[in-house]
A and B are shown apart, each in its own frame.
Chain A
């Protein structure tokens, strides 16, 4: 069981570039989440998907889009990257909404 996997592990972008962060889980979980972690700000929820076919905004959704591709995969897209989006991004999953969450190893993104 790999749990929650994320690609890439590291990424450097120039302002205005776009990219997609990939996340997959092999635990047959229904719910998936995208967070960002910033020094002094803690972890904040960007978007979540309570079940396949649904997505909802979290605390800080501006500048991001998500796709729940199937039950296993949940991607996060930055259409036009900004320096304020420099952060560590974590994907997580849980068996059901508001359940125990299992995190991936993170993607460290720098936007210059």
Chain B
């Protein structure tokens, strides 16, 4: 069974810092990888989706990269703000499957 791991489970940073969230997966035959944000008590919001043929995707202050050979994706957040505080989850789908596997998330706190 494929696994998706997110380390660290929690992160606290001062406002303005650039930060990187990590997502690793066990099988390089990935179809796509998606990054989500979840605020407490809310549903998930899709941030970026990277197809297996892509190396990165950007949206505003967010940049997600995908390295299939090393089994890693990173979400880079530039100039972090208190409003970025949330749990960030990654989810992968593999080539022959329609069932995504989610990581357990990184809980981010950005303090003023």
Contact = CB atoms under 8 A, between A and B. Distances in A.
B34 interface: yes
A64 interface: no
A80 B105 CA distance: 31
A45 interface: yes
A99 B32 CA distance: 9
Nearest to B41: A106
A105 B43 contact: yes
A101 B35 CA distance: 10
Contact of A56 (B42, B46, B98, B102): B98
A90 interface: yes
A98 B36 CA distance: 15
* Interface residue range, chain A: 20 to 34
Contact of A104 (B32, B36, B43, B46): B43
B93 A98 contact: yes
A73 B17 CA distance: 43
Contacts of A105: 42-43
B42 to A, nearest CB: 6
Interface string A30-47: 000000000010111100
A42 B43 contact: no
A43 B91 contact: yes
A43 B38 CA distance: 12
A103 B98 contact: no
B94 to A, nearest CB: 10
Contact of B45 (A43, A44, A98, A103): A103
A45 B100 contact: yes
B44 interface: yes
B99 A90 contact: no
Contact of A106 (B31, B32, B42): B42
A67 to B, nearest CB: 19
25 contacts: A40-B104, A42-B89, A42-B102, A42-B103, A42-B104, A43-B89, A43-B91, A44-B102, A45-B100, A58-B99, A59-B99, A90-B43, A92-B44, A98-B32, A99-B49, A100-B34, A101-B34, A101-B44, A101-B46, A103-B36, A103-B43, A103-B45, A103-B46, A105-B42, A106-B43
